[in-house]
Amino acid sequence: MQIKSFHIYQAKIQLKTPFVTSLGPEPFSEHIFIKVTLENGVIGWGECAPSNTINGENIATAMALVPSLAGSLIGKDVGAHQDNFQAMDKVIFGHYSIKSAFDLACYDAASRQNNLPLYRYLGGRLKREMLTDYTVSLATVEAMANQAKDLYQQGFRKIKVKLGGEPELDVRRIKAIRTAVGNEVELRVDANQGWSFEGAVTALNGMSQYDVVYCEEPINRKLAYRLKALQSQVPIAIMADESVVDHHDAHHLASVQNIKFFNLKIGKSGGITPILKIIEVAEKFDISMQVGGFIETKIVFTANCHLALCKPNIRFFDCDSPLFHNSMPTIGGMEYHEDWTIELPSAPGLGIDLNEDFLVKCQQIQIG
């Protein structure tokens, strides 16, 4: 079925508390929501929350490209995903955040058109438990330990900790958090590229006694060629995040750097179409994967969970971002249970829509 038009909505959503990483604080999230409409009236939703520090994109750069990217897709078969992604690449190189919103909207519409949930449209039939972690923001040792303890009392048994500061201080943070939550909680850490090579060696060796499962992107992604050397000097497994953007990165990290964990982000890589290529590499090299994201709404994280029902190598769920927002503009989609397992709707596509009361307050344009 051919693509008829796009509606684009721009919005800012306040967070409950600022989200702080080694890259800086974020008091709110900025979003672009894209609704694609097919010739027969079927719709689909996509979303992005551009990151200056990760994607090199922001709302202004993304919106500047919306008319040309939309124009490259109107009249195309919504299900020709690879051809459609190539059409966007012909418009401009990179800019994966805004491309991901278009790509995701087309997958939602195509699976609705076929009357299938997205995971079934992608060929998945897995039934599995999906249990999210929750992220502790970077702060003082005491504040981070208190937040982790509070999360434990809320029932979270998987906690991710933002680090990337002074290495010895980061070790003290993890020691305090482990003391606060006991031994039942699975701890994961994310340095967001914040350490030097030597600092990463110091930090990861220092915190190894506190039973940390993995560390995301310990050093600057430009130093990805040193990840194998780093892994040989530390006992904690390294997970590639910012350094694995496309399937070429994935192949290098798996075959040359011998990295065993990848973090998949729809908004980092350009959508489901390129993510599936990364997954192919991961399956070839027996790489375990995590689905995560930026500070998007349930649209992106519902898509993450649909992917996980297709691919057994997706073992880790960093799907807490929708919990950061003061309000959630979506209707339907993923639901959290009291034990923080995630359930998906059985409706076609993502099984999600946006609240009309929210949309009327957004800046919006129509193309097509």
Query: Rg of the chain's alpha carbons, rounded to an integer?
Result: 20
Distance CA 322, CA 276 (A): 23
The residue with tokens 């939550």 is 181
Distance CA 334, CA 306 (A): 9
Residue 105 confidence (pLDDT) above 90:
yes
Query: How high is the pLDDT of residue 271?
Result: 98
Query: How high is the pLDDT of residue 224?
Result: 97
Q: If you ran DSSP here, which 8-state letter would residue 338 be given?
A: T
Query: How high is the pLDDT of residue 91?
Result: 98
Residues 120-350: name the CATH superfamily.
Answer: Enolase-like C-terminal domain (3.20.20.120)
Q: Over the stretch 118-130, which tens digit does the pLDDT of each residue have?
A: 999 999 988 899 9
Tell me the pLDDT band of 295, cut-offs 50, 70 and 90: very high
Q: Over the stretch 64-86, which tens digit does the pLDDT of each residue have?
A: 999 999 999 999 999 999 999 99
- 35, 193, 317 from 45: Cα distances, Å: 5, 32, 22
Distance CA 267, CA 48 (A): 6
Average pLDDT value for residue range 206-229: 98
- Structure token digits, residue 152: 């434990």
Query: How high is the pLDDT of residue 245?
Result: 97
Within 8 A by CB and 6+ apart from 222, the residues are: none
Query: How high is the pLDDT of residue 127?
Result: 86
Average pLDDT, the chain: 96
Residue 262 confidence (pLDDT) above 90:
yes
- pLDDT, greater one: 21 or 56: 56
- Structure token digits, residue 179: 């003391």
Distance CA 223, CA 221 (A): 5
In the three-class reduction of DSSP (H, G, I as helix; E, B as strand; rest coil), residue 94 is classed as: coil
The residue with tokens 């359930």 is 343
Query: How high is the pLDDT of residue 17?
Result: 84
The residue extents of the domains of the chain are 3-115+354-367, 120-350
Tell me the pLDDT band of 117, cut-offs 50, 70 and 90: very high
Determine contact, residues 272/278, Cβ cutoff 8 Å: no
Q: Over the stretch 6-42, which tens digit does the pLDDT of each residue have?
A: 999 999 999 988 877 877 777 889 999 999 999 999 9
pTM: 0.96
Query: How high is the pLDDT of residue 54?
Result: 81
Give 216-220 contacts, CB < 8 A, sequence gap 24+: 216/188, 216/189, 216/190, 216/191, 216/192, 216/240, 216/241, 216/263, 217/190, 217/191, 217/192, 217/193, 217/241, 217/242, 217/243, 217/263, 218/191, 218/193, 218/194, 219/191, 219/193, 219/195, 220/193
Query: How high is the pLDDT of residue 18?
Result: 81
Query: How high is the pLDDT of residue 52?
Result: 83
- 32, 329, 362 from 357: Cα distances, Å: 16, 9, 9
List the CATH code of the domain at 3-115+354-367: 3.30.390.10
Distance CA 290, CA 286 (A): 13
Distance CA 350, CA 299 (A): 7
Residue 90 confidence (pLDDT) above 80:
yes
Tell me the pLDDT band of 246, cut-offs 50, 70 and 90: very high
Average pLDDT value for residue range 162-186: 97
Percentage, residues of the chain above pLDDT 90:
94
Under the phi-then-psi rule, with left for phi > 0, alpha for psi from -120 to 50, and beta for the rest, what region is 161? beta
Determine contact, residues 78/3, Cβ cutoff 8 Å: yes
In the three-class reduction of DSSP (H, G, I as helix; E, B as strand; rest coil), residue 285 is classed as: coil
Query: How high is the pLDDT of residue 53?
Result: 80
Within the chain, residue ranges assigned H as helices are 59-73, 81-91, 96-113, 118-121, 141-153, 167-181, 197-206, 227-233, 247-255, 266-269, 272-284, 298-308, 356-359
Q: Over the stretch 319-364, which tens digit does the pLDDT of each residue have?
A: 999 999 999 999 999 999 999 999 999 999 999 999 999 999 999 9
Percentage, residues of the chain above pLDDT 70:
100
Average pLDDT value for residue range 161-185: 97
Average pLDDT value for residue range 176-184: 97
Residue 186 confidence (pLDDT) above 90:
yes
Distance CA 211, CA 232 (A): 18
